[in-house]
Protein backbone atom coordinates (compact mmCIF):
# COMPACT_ATOMS: atom_id res chain seq x y z
CA UNK A 1 0.00 0.00 0.00
CA UNK A 2 1.51 3.26 -1.17
CA UNK A 3 1.41 6.39 1.02
CA UNK A 4 -0.14 9.39 -0.65
CA UNK A 5 1.99 12.55 -0.86
CA UNK A 6 -1.03 14.40 0.42
CA UNK A 7 -1.07 12.41 3.70
CA UNK A 8 -0.44 14.77 6.65
CA UNK A 9 3.09 14.53 8.11
CA UNK A 10 3.71 13.32 11.64
CA UNK A 11 6.09 16.07 12.77
CA UNK A 12 7.54 14.00 15.63
CA UNK A 13 9.45 11.70 13.27
CA UNK A 14 11.69 12.62 10.37
CA UNK A 15 10.61 11.79 6.86
CA UNK A 16 12.38 8.94 5.16
CA UNK A 17 13.34 11.27 2.32
CA UNK A 18 15.19 13.53 4.71
CA UNK A 19 17.12 10.76 6.40
CA UNK A 20 19.47 9.34 3.81
CA UNK A 21 21.86 10.82 1.40
CA UNK A 22 21.94 7.87 -0.93
CA UNK A 23 21.51 4.17 -1.13
CA UNK A 24 21.52 1.54 -3.80
CA UNK A 25 18.04 0.57 -5.07
CA UNK A 26 19.17 -2.40 -7.14
CA UNK A 27 17.75 -5.82 -6.33
CA UNK A 28 20.10 -7.69 -4.00
CA UNK A 29 21.74 -4.47 -2.80
CA UNK A 30 18.79 -2.75 -1.24
CA UNK A 31 18.68 -4.17 2.29
CA UNK A 32 22.40 -3.90 2.83
CA UNK A 33 22.61 -0.43 1.36
CA UNK A 34 19.70 0.86 3.44
CA UNK A 35 21.17 -0.63 6.60
CA UNK A 36 24.56 1.00 5.97
CA UNK A 37 22.90 4.33 5.24
CA UNK A 38 20.92 4.38 8.50
CA UNK A 39 23.85 3.00 10.52
CA UNK A 40 26.15 5.63 8.99
CA UNK A 41 23.74 8.42 9.89
CA UNK A 42 23.59 7.19 13.50
CA UNK A 43 27.36 6.74 13.76
CA UNK A 44 28.02 10.16 12.28
CA UNK A 45 25.65 11.70 14.82
CA UNK A 46 23.17 12.92 12.20
CA UNK A 47 20.58 10.76 13.96
CA UNK A 48 21.11 11.35 17.67
CA UNK A 49 20.21 9.17 20.64
CA UNK A 50 16.45 9.04 21.21
CA UNK A 51 15.52 10.22 17.72
CA UNK A 52 12.42 8.36 16.56
CA UNK A 53 12.63 6.86 13.07
CA UNK A 54 9.66 6.73 10.73
CA UNK A 55 7.43 3.70 11.11
CA UNK A 56 8.35 0.90 8.76
CA UNK A 57 5.21 1.57 6.76
CA UNK A 58 5.94 5.24 6.43
CA UNK A 59 9.60 4.74 5.54
CA UNK A 60 8.76 2.08 2.98
CA UNK A 61 6.35 4.49 1.33
CA UNK A 62 8.79 7.37 1.39
CA UNK A 63 11.58 5.34 -0.12
CA UNK A 64 9.36 3.39 -2.49
CA UNK A 65 10.57 0.04 -1.26
CA UNK A 66 8.62 -2.90 0.15
CA UNK A 67 7.79 -2.80 3.83
CA UNK A 68 9.66 -6.08 4.42
CA UNK A 69 12.91 -4.41 3.40
CA UNK A 70 12.43 -1.79 6.09
CA UNK A 71 11.36 -4.17 8.86
CA UNK A 72 14.33 -6.44 8.08
CA UNK A 73 16.63 -3.44 8.20
CA UNK A 74 15.20 -2.22 11.50
CA UNK A 75 15.51 -5.74 12.97
CA UNK A 76 19.12 -6.01 11.91
CA UNK A 77 20.02 -2.59 13.28
CA UNK A 78 18.25 -3.47 16.52
CA UNK A 79 20.28 -6.72 16.72
CA UNK A 80 23.41 -4.63 16.34
CA UNK A 81 22.30 -2.30 19.14
CA UNK A 82 21.74 0.84 17.03
CA UNK A 83 17.96 0.95 17.38
CA UNK A 84 15.54 0.21 20.18
CA UNK A 85 12.31 -1.36 18.90
CA UNK A 86 9.02 -0.61 20.65
CA UNK A 87 5.85 -2.66 20.13
CA UNK A 88 3.49 -0.90 17.73
CA UNK A 89 5.59 2.27 17.75
CA UNK A 90 8.35 3.60 15.55
CA UNK A 91 11.90 2.57 16.61
CA UNK A 92 14.18 5.09 18.28
CA UNK A 93 17.90 5.54 17.95
CA UNK A 94 19.73 3.84 20.83
CA UNK A 95 22.65 5.38 22.70
CA UNK A 96 25.67 5.34 20.39
CA UNK A 97 28.87 7.10 21.32
CA UNK A 98 30.45 9.56 18.92
CA UNK A 99 34.13 9.43 18.11
CA UNK A 100 36.95 11.92 17.54
CA UNK A 101 38.16 12.79 14.07
CA UNK A 102 40.93 11.08 12.17
CA UNK A 103 44.38 11.34 13.71
CA UNK A 104 47.10 12.53 11.37
CA UNK A 105 49.78 10.19 10.03
CA UNK A 106 53.29 11.49 10.67
CA UNK A 107 55.52 11.51 7.60
CA UNK A 108 58.58 9.25 7.93
CA UNK A 109 61.73 11.25 8.66
CA UNK A 110 64.16 11.45 5.76
CA UNK A 111 67.56 13.11 6.05
CA UNK A 112 69.51 14.61 3.19
CA UNK A 113 72.51 12.73 4.57
CA UNK A 114 71.64 9.72 6.71
CA UNK A 115 74.35 8.48 9.09
CA UNK A 116 71.79 6.70 11.30
CA UNK A 117 73.73 3.67 12.20
CA UNK A 118 72.07 0.33 12.66
CA UNK A 119 69.98 0.03 9.53
CA UNK A 120 71.15 -1.45 6.22
CA UNK A 121 70.37 0.05 2.85
CA UNK A 122 66.82 -1.00 2.09
CA UNK A 123 67.50 -0.27 -1.59
CA UNK A 124 69.63 -3.40 -1.57
CA UNK A 125 66.76 -5.64 -0.47
CA UNK A 126 66.79 -8.49 -3.02
CA UNK A 127 63.21 -8.10 -4.17
CA UNK A 128 63.47 -10.46 -7.09
CA UNK A 129 65.26 -13.20 -5.20
CA UNK A 130 62.75 -12.87 -2.36
CA UNK A 131 59.82 -13.14 -4.78
CA UNK A 132 61.37 -16.22 -6.41
CA UNK A 133 61.80 -17.76 -2.97
CA UNK A 134 58.19 -16.96 -2.07
CA UNK A 135 57.01 -18.35 -5.39
CA UNK A 136 58.86 -21.59 -4.85
CA UNK A 137 57.74 -21.80 -1.22
CA UNK A 138 54.12 -21.32 -2.26
CA UNK A 139 54.47 -24.07 -4.86
CA UNK A 140 56.00 -26.71 -2.64
CA UNK A 141 54.69 -25.91 0.84
CA UNK A 142 52.44 -28.59 2.33
CA UNK A 143 48.97 -27.39 3.31
CA UNK A 144 49.82 -27.69 6.98
CA UNK A 145 52.32 -24.85 6.51
CA UNK A 146 49.34 -22.48 6.49
CA UNK A 147 47.94 -23.86 9.73
CA UNK A 148 48.94 -23.23 13.29
CA UNK A 149 52.09 -25.28 13.67
CA UNK A 150 55.13 -25.85 15.81
CA UNK A 151 55.44 -22.60 17.76
CA UNK A 152 59.24 -22.78 17.42
CA UNK A 153 58.83 -22.07 13.70
CA UNK A 154 58.89 -23.99 10.44
CA UNK A 155 61.17 -27.01 10.53
CA UNK A 156 62.48 -26.19 7.00
CA UNK A 157 63.89 -22.89 8.26
CA UNK A 158 65.17 -24.24 11.55
CA UNK A 159 67.09 -26.97 9.71
CA UNK A 160 68.54 -24.51 7.18
CA UNK A 161 69.57 -22.17 9.99
CA UNK A 162 71.21 -24.92 12.05
CA UNK A 163 73.40 -25.71 9.05
CA UNK A 164 74.08 -22.06 8.21
CA UNK A 165 74.89 -21.02 11.77
CA UNK A 166 77.30 -23.91 12.24
CA UNK A 167 79.03 -23.18 8.96
CA UNK A 168 79.22 -19.39 9.14
CA UNK A 169 79.19 -18.63 12.85
CA UNK A 170 80.41 -21.79 14.57
CA UNK A 171 77.13 -22.07 16.46
CA UNK A 172 76.45 -25.51 17.89
CA UNK A 173 72.76 -26.12 17.61
CA UNK A 174 70.24 -28.51 16.15
CA UNK A 175 66.90 -27.54 14.62
CA UNK A 176 65.09 -28.58 17.81
CA UNK A 177 66.78 -25.86 19.83
CA UNK A 178 66.12 -23.00 17.38
CA UNK A 179 63.11 -20.73 17.83
CA UNK A 180 62.09 -18.28 15.11
CA UNK A 181 61.12 -14.78 16.25
CA UNK A 182 60.05 -11.37 14.93
CA UNK A 183 63.62 -10.09 14.85
CA UNK A 184 65.99 -9.49 17.75
CA UNK A 185 63.41 -7.45 19.66
CA UNK A 186 61.03 -10.35 20.15
CA UNK A 187 63.88 -12.72 20.99
CA UNK A 188 64.94 -10.36 23.77
CA UNK A 189 61.35 -9.95 24.96
CA UNK A 190 60.91 -13.73 25.15
CA UNK A 191 64.13 -14.13 27.14
CA UNK A 192 62.96 -11.39 29.50
CA UNK A 193 59.63 -13.14 30.02
CA UNK A 194 61.31 -16.44 30.80
CA UNK A 195 63.83 -14.84 33.17
CA UNK A 196 61.06 -12.96 34.93
CA UNK A 197 58.97 -16.11 35.32
CA UNK A 198 62.05 -17.72 36.88
CA UNK A 199 62.19 -14.92 39.42
CA UNK A 200 64.87 -12.68 37.91
CA UNK A 201 64.68 -8.98 38.73
CA UNK A 202 67.30 -7.60 36.38
CA UNK A 203 69.28 -8.17 33.21
CA UNK A 204 72.77 -6.80 32.55
CA UNK A 205 73.67 -4.85 29.42
CA UNK A 206 76.88 -3.51 28.02
CA UNK A 207 77.20 0.24 28.30
CA UNK A 208 77.00 1.87 25.83
CA UNK A 209 74.25 -0.09 24.11
CA UNK A 210 70.92 0.51 22.40
CA UNK A 211 68.25 2.35 24.40
CA UNK A 212 65.43 0.69 22.47
CA UNK A 213 66.61 -2.64 23.88
CA UNK A 214 66.56 -1.33 27.46
CA UNK A 215 62.94 -0.32 26.76
CA UNK A 216 62.06 -3.89 25.86
CA UNK A 217 63.64 -5.10 29.11
CA UNK A 218 61.94 -2.47 31.27
CA UNK A 219 58.57 -3.08 29.59
CA UNK A 220 58.84 -6.73 30.62
CA UNK A 221 59.26 -5.74 34.25
CA UNK A 222 63.03 -6.26 34.63
CA UNK A 223 65.60 -3.65 35.59
CA UNK A 224 68.64 -2.95 33.39
CA UNK A 225 72.04 -3.27 35.04
CA UNK A 226 75.11 -1.77 33.37
CA UNK A 227 78.48 -3.36 32.67
CA UNK A 228 81.03 -1.12 30.89
CA UNK A 229 82.94 -1.88 27.69
CA UNK A 230 86.30 -0.60 26.51
CA UNK A 231 88.36 -1.09 23.36
CA UNK A 232 88.50 -4.87 24.03
CA UNK A 233 84.77 -5.27 24.52
CA UNK A 234 82.99 -6.08 27.75
CA UNK A 235 85.07 -5.36 30.88
CA UNK A 236 84.83 -8.81 32.42
CA UNK A 237 86.68 -7.65 35.55
CA UNK A 238 83.44 -5.84 36.42
CA UNK A 239 81.26 -8.95 36.15
CA UNK A 240 81.77 -9.84 39.80
CA UNK A 241 80.04 -6.60 40.79
CA UNK A 242 76.77 -7.12 38.95
CA UNK A 243 73.85 -8.80 40.64
CA UNK A 244 72.11 -10.02 37.47
CA UNK A 245 72.66 -13.63 36.48
CA UNK A 246 72.06 -12.90 32.81
CA UNK A 247 73.79 -10.48 30.46
CA UNK A 248 73.24 -9.30 26.87
CA UNK A 249 76.48 -8.92 24.92
CA UNK A 250 77.66 -8.16 21.36
CA UNK A 251 81.01 -9.98 21.24
CA UNK A 252 81.63 -10.01 17.49
CA UNK A 253 81.17 -6.25 17.07
CA UNK A 254 80.13 -4.35 20.15
CA UNK A 255 77.20 -2.06 19.54
CA UNK A 256 77.85 0.86 19.31
CA UNK A 257 81.61 1.08 19.95
CA UNK A 258 82.53 -1.56 17.37
CA UNK A 259 85.01 -3.27 19.73
CA UNK A 260 85.70 -6.97 19.16
CA UNK A 261 85.71 -8.89 22.43
CA UNK A 262 89.23 -10.05 23.33
CA UNK A 263 89.82 -13.84 23.58
CA UNK A 264 90.64 -13.75 27.31
CA UNK A 265 87.40 -11.89 27.97
CA UNK A 266 85.36 -14.40 25.99
CA UNK A 267 86.81 -17.10 28.24
CA UNK A 268 86.22 -15.01 31.37
CA UNK A 269 82.62 -14.30 30.40
CA UNK A 270 81.84 -17.96 29.80
CA UNK A 271 83.55 -18.77 33.10
CA UNK A 272 81.41 -16.21 34.92
CA UNK A 273 78.24 -17.79 33.52
CA UNK A 274 79.36 -21.26 34.56
CA UNK A 275 80.26 -20.13 38.07
CA UNK A 276 77.05 -18.21 38.65
CA UNK A 277 74.81 -20.67 36.77
CA UNK A 278 74.06 -17.69 34.58
CA UNK A 279 72.95 -16.98 31.05
CA UNK A 280 74.70 -15.10 28.26
CA UNK A 281 72.53 -13.58 25.54
CA UNK A 282 74.71 -13.14 22.45
CA UNK A 283 73.36 -10.50 20.09
CA UNK A 284 75.13 -11.50 16.86
CA UNK A 285 73.50 -8.76 14.84
CA UNK A 286 75.91 -7.99 12.01
CA UNK A 287 78.71 -10.55 12.00
CA UNK A 288 78.06 -11.25 8.31
CA UNK A 289 79.68 -7.91 7.46
CA UNK A 290 83.28 -8.31 8.53
CA UNK A 291 85.84 -6.65 6.27
CA UNK A 292 89.39 -7.28 7.45
CA UNK A 293 89.33 -11.04 8.05
CA UNK A 294 86.93 -13.78 9.03
CA UNK A 295 84.52 -12.79 11.78
CA UNK A 296 85.33 -14.41 15.10
CA UNK A 297 82.99 -17.37 15.61
CA UNK A 298 80.02 -17.00 17.89
CA UNK A 299 80.64 -17.11 21.62
CA UNK A 300 77.81 -19.64 21.77
CA UNK A 301 80.14 -22.32 20.37
CA UNK A 302 82.13 -22.18 23.60
CA UNK A 303 79.19 -23.10 25.82
CA UNK A 304 75.90 -23.92 24.10
CA UNK A 305 74.39 -24.76 27.49
CA UNK A 306 74.76 -21.21 28.80
CA UNK A 307 74.71 -18.96 25.74
CA UNK A 308 71.60 -17.97 23.80
CA UNK A 309 72.73 -16.97 20.31
CA UNK A 310 70.45 -14.52 18.51
CA UNK A 311 70.72 -13.74 14.82
CA UNK A 312 68.58 -11.61 12.52
CA UNK A 313 67.76 -10.98 8.88
CA UNK A 314 67.39 -7.27 9.67
CA UNK A 315 70.98 -6.50 8.67
CA UNK A 316 71.51 -9.05 5.91
CA UNK A 317 68.14 -8.63 4.17
CA UNK A 318 66.10 -5.78 5.68
CA UNK A 319 64.49 -4.86 9.01
CA UNK A 320 61.01 -4.98 7.43
CA UNK A 321 61.36 -8.76 7.02
CA UNK A 322 61.11 -9.06 10.82
CA UNK A 323 62.79 -12.44 11.06
CA UNK A 324 65.20 -13.46 13.79
CA UNK A 325 66.28 -16.72 15.37
CA UNK A 326 67.48 -17.88 18.74
CA UNK A 327 69.75 -20.87 19.33
CA UNK A 328 68.86 -21.94 22.85
CA UNK A 329 70.35 -24.08 25.58
CA UNK A 330 68.28 -27.28 25.73
CA UNK A 331 67.06 -26.40 29.23
CA UNK A 332 65.42 -23.20 27.96
CA UNK A 333 63.69 -24.43 24.80
CA UNK A 334 60.39 -25.48 26.37
CA UNK A 335 60.01 -22.29 28.41
CA UNK A 336 60.74 -20.05 25.43
CA UNK A 337 58.43 -22.09 23.21
CA UNK A 338 55.59 -21.62 25.70
CA UNK A 339 56.33 -17.90 25.94
CA UNK A 340 56.26 -17.62 22.13
CA UNK A 341 52.94 -19.50 22.11
CA UNK A 342 51.47 -17.10 24.65
CA UNK A 343 52.60 -13.91 22.91
CA UNK A 344 51.70 -14.61 19.29
CA UNK A 345 51.06 -18.30 18.53
CA UNK A 346 54.11 -18.45 16.26
CA UNK A 347 55.64 -16.45 13.40
CA UNK A 348 54.21 -16.15 9.87
CA UNK A 349 54.90 -19.29 7.87
CA UNK A 350 55.53 -18.08 4.35
CA UNK A 351 58.39 -15.69 5.14
CA UNK A 352 60.06 -18.50 7.05
CA UNK A 353 59.75 -20.84 4.08
CA UNK A 354 61.12 -18.15 1.76
CA UNK A 355 64.14 -17.58 3.99
CA UNK A 356 64.72 -21.34 4.16
CA UNK A 357 64.71 -21.35 0.34
CA UNK A 358 67.21 -18.48 0.18
CA UNK A 359 69.51 -20.23 2.63
CA UNK A 360 69.30 -23.64 0.96
CA UNK A 361 69.79 -22.31 -2.56
CA UNK A 362 72.90 -20.35 -1.60
CA UNK A 363 71.15 -17.13 -2.67
CA UNK A 364 71.41 -15.80 0.89
CA UNK A 365 75.20 -16.20 0.91
CA UNK A 366 75.46 -14.61 -2.53
CA UNK A 367 73.34 -11.67 -1.45
CA UNK A 368 75.41 -11.17 1.70
CA UNK A 369 78.63 -11.32 -0.33
CA UNK A 370 77.32 -8.72 -2.80
CA UNK A 371 76.11 -6.44 -0.02
CA UNK A 372 79.44 -6.83 1.81
CA UNK A 373 81.27 -5.58 -1.30
CA UNK A 374 79.03 -2.54 -1.50
CA UNK A 375 79.32 -1.75 2.19
CA UNK A 376 83.07 -2.23 2.09
CA UNK A 377 83.37 0.40 -0.66
CA UNK A 378 81.22 2.79 1.37
CA UNK A 379 83.23 2.09 4.51
CA UNK A 380 86.56 2.62 2.74
CA UNK A 381 85.33 5.84 1.18
CA UNK A 382 84.04 7.08 4.54
CA UNK A 383 87.28 6.32 6.38
CA UNK A 384 89.33 7.88 3.60
CA UNK A 385 87.17 11.02 3.59
CA UNK A 386 87.09 11.35 7.37
CA UNK A 387 90.86 10.88 7.55
CA UNK A 388 91.48 13.69 5.07
CA UNK A 389 88.78 16.15 6.23
CA UNK A 390 88.93 15.52 9.97
CA UNK A 391 92.45 14.18 10.45
CA UNK A 392 92.58 14.82 14.20
CA UNK A 393 89.66 12.63 15.13
CA UNK A 394 90.10 8.88 15.73
CA UNK A 395 87.88 6.39 13.87
CA UNK A 396 86.99 3.22 15.75
CA UNK A 397 85.08 0.00 15.22
CA UNK A 398 85.60 -0.12 11.46
CA UNK A 399 86.41 -3.82 11.19
CA UNK A 400 82.83 -4.92 10.75
CA UNK A 401 79.19 -3.92 10.55
CA UNK A 402 77.54 -0.92 9.00
CA UNK A 403 78.95 1.93 11.07
CA UNK A 404 82.12 3.44 12.51
CA UNK A 405 82.57 5.57 15.61
CA UNK A 406 84.13 8.99 15.24
CA UNK A 407 85.62 10.13 18.54
CA UNK A 408 85.45 13.86 19.17
CA UNK A 409 87.97 16.30 20.64
CA UNK A 410 88.01 16.63 24.41
CA UNK A 411 85.24 18.78 25.75
CA UNK A 412 83.04 18.52 22.64
CA UNK A 413 79.50 17.46 23.51
CA UNK A 414 78.38 14.85 21.01
CA UNK A 415 74.71 15.70 21.55
CA UNK A 416 75.34 19.28 20.58
CA UNK A 417 77.00 18.08 17.41
CA UNK A 418 73.94 15.95 16.66
CA UNK A 419 71.71 19.01 17.04
CA UNK A 420 73.98 21.14 14.87
CA UNK A 421 74.07 18.40 12.23
CA UNK A 422 70.28 18.19 12.24
CA UNK A 423 70.05 21.84 11.24
CA UNK A 424 72.10 20.91 8.16
CA UNK A 425 69.74 18.00 7.44
CA UNK A 426 72.35 15.46 8.51
CA UNK A 427 71.05 12.54 10.60
CA UNK A 428 73.63 11.21 13.06
CA UNK A 429 73.56 9.69 16.55
CA UNK A 430 75.54 10.48 19.69
CA UNK A 431 77.41 7.76 21.56
CA UNK A 432 76.61 9.40 24.90
CA UNK A 433 72.88 8.89 24.28
CA UNK A 434 73.51 5.15 24.45
CA UNK A 435 75.20 5.16 27.82
CA UNK A 436 73.87 3.70 31.04
CA UNK A 437 76.64 5.36 33.08
CA UNK A 438 77.17 8.86 34.48
CA UNK A 439 80.42 9.28 32.61
CA UNK A 440 79.48 8.34 29.08
CA UNK A 441 81.81 7.76 26.15
CA UNK A 442 81.40 10.58 23.65
CA UNK A 443 81.48 10.29 19.91
CA UNK A 444 79.38 10.02 16.79
CA UNK A 445 77.94 6.88 15.28
CA UNK A 446 78.42 7.13 11.55
CA UNK A 447 76.35 4.60 9.70
CA UNK A 448 77.41 4.17 6.09
CA UNK A 449 74.86 1.52 5.19
CA UNK A 450 72.57 4.06 3.58
CA UNK A 451 75.08 6.39 1.98
CA UNK A 452 76.05 5.66 -1.64
CA UNK A 453 79.85 5.98 -1.92
CA UNK A 454 79.68 8.97 -4.26
CA UNK A 455 77.62 10.98 -1.78
CA UNK A 456 79.98 10.38 1.13
CA UNK A 457 82.36 13.33 0.54
CA UNK A 458 79.42 15.75 0.51
CA UNK A 459 77.95 14.11 3.60
CA UNK A 460 81.23 14.35 5.50
CA UNK A 461 81.52 18.02 4.51
CA UNK A 462 78.08 18.71 5.95
CA UNK A 463 79.00 16.82 9.10
CA UNK A 464 82.36 18.58 9.45
CA UNK A 465 80.60 21.94 9.23
CA UNK A 466 78.54 20.87 12.27
CA UNK A 467 81.62 20.31 14.43
CA UNK A 468 83.20 23.00 16.53
CA UNK A 469 86.79 23.95 15.53
CA UNK A 470 89.20 21.32 16.82
CA UNK A 471 92.97 21.36 17.33
CA UNK A 472 94.83 20.47 14.13
- Enumerate residues 185-244 that contact a second copy by CB under 8 A: 185-186, 189, 193, 197, 212, 215-216, 219-221
Return the C-alpha torsion angle 103, 217, 186, 313, nearest 10: 100
Shortest Cβ distance from residue 227 to a second copy (Å)? 18
Residue selected from 14, 54, 183, 278 as contacting a second copy according to rule CB under 8 A = 183
Residue selected from 8, 28, 87, 108 as contacting a second copy according to rule CB under 8 A = 108
Instruction: Output phi, psi for 253, to 5 deg.
Output: -170, 90
Residue selected from 64, 66, 238, 341 as contacting a second copy according to rule CB under 8 A = 341
Residue selected from 3, 343, 453, 464 as contacting a second copy according to rule CB under 8 A = 343
Q: Give every CB contact of residue 396 below 8 A, 6+ residues apart in sequence.
A: 231, 257, 258, 259, 404, 405, 406, 407, 443
Shortest Cβ distance from residue 203 to a second copy (Å)? 14
Shortest Cβ distance from residue 199 to a second copy (Å)? 13
Using CB under 8 A as the binding rule, the residues of this chain from 36 to 95 that contact a second copy are 36, 39, 43, 76, 78-82, 84, 94-95
Residue selected from 1, 99, 391, 438 as contacting a second copy according to rule CB under 8 A = 99
Return the C-alpha torsion angle 59, 63, 67, 71, nearest 10: -60
**Is residue 403 helix, strand or coil?**
strand
Shortest Cβ distance from residue 125 to a second copy (Å)? 4
C-alpha to C-alpha distance for 247 and 254, rounded to whole angstroms: 14
Name the DSSP letter for residue 227.
E
C-alpha to C-alpha distance for 196 and 219, rounded to whole angstroms: 12
Shortest Cβ distance from residue 390 to a second copy (Å)? 28
Tell whether omega for the bond before 454 is within 30 degrees of 0, i.e. cis. no
Which CB, 31 or 57, lies closer to a second copy? 31
Identify the CA nearest to 443 among candidates 135, 229, 167, 277. 229
Q: Do the Cβ atoms of 289 and 375 come closer than 8 Å?
A: yes
| C-beta neighbour count of 156 within 10 angstroms | 22
Residue selected from 344, 384, 413, 425 as contacting a second copy according to rule CB under 8 A = 344
Residue 299 in the binding site for a second copy (CB under 8 A): yes
C-alpha to C-alpha distance for 58 and 328, rounded to whole angstroms: 70
Per-residue interface string for the shown chain with a second copy, residues 118-157, x marking contact by CB under 8 A: -x--xx-x-x--xx--xx--xx---xxxxxxxx----x--
Shortest Cβ distance from residue 340 to a second copy (Å)? 10
Identify the CA nearest to 195 among candidates 227, 172, 173, 223. 223
Residue selected from 35, 58, 315, 379 as contacting a second copy according to rule CB under 8 A = 35
Name the DSSP letter for residue 145.
G
C-alpha to C-alpha distance for 428 and 466, rounded to whole angstroms: 11
Which CB, 260 or 398, lies closer to a second copy? 260
Shortest Cβ distance from residue 219 to a second copy (Å)? 4
Identify the CA nearest to 184 among candidates 325, 289, 288. 325
Candidate segments 54-62, 266-274, 372-380, 399-407, binder of a second copy by CB under 8 A:
266-274
Which CB, 270 or 398, lies closer to a second copy? 270
Residue 339 in the binding site for a second copy (CB under 8 A): yes
Shortest Cβ distance from residue 432 to a second copy (Å)? 22
Which CB, 231 or 342, lies closer to a second copy? 342
Amino acid sequence: MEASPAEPLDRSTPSGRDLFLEFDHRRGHLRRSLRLAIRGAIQAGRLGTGTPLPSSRRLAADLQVSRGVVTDTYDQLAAEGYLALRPRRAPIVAHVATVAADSAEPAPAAWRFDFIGTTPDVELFPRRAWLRALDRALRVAPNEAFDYGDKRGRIELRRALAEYLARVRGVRVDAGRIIITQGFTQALDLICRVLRARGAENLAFETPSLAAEWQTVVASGLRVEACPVDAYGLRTDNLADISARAIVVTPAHQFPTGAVMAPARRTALVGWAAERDGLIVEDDYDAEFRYDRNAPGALQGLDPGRVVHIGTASKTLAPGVRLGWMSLPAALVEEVRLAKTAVDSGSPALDQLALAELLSSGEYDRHVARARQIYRRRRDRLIETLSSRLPGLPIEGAAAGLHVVLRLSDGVDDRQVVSAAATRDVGVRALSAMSLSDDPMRGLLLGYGRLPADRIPEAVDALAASLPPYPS
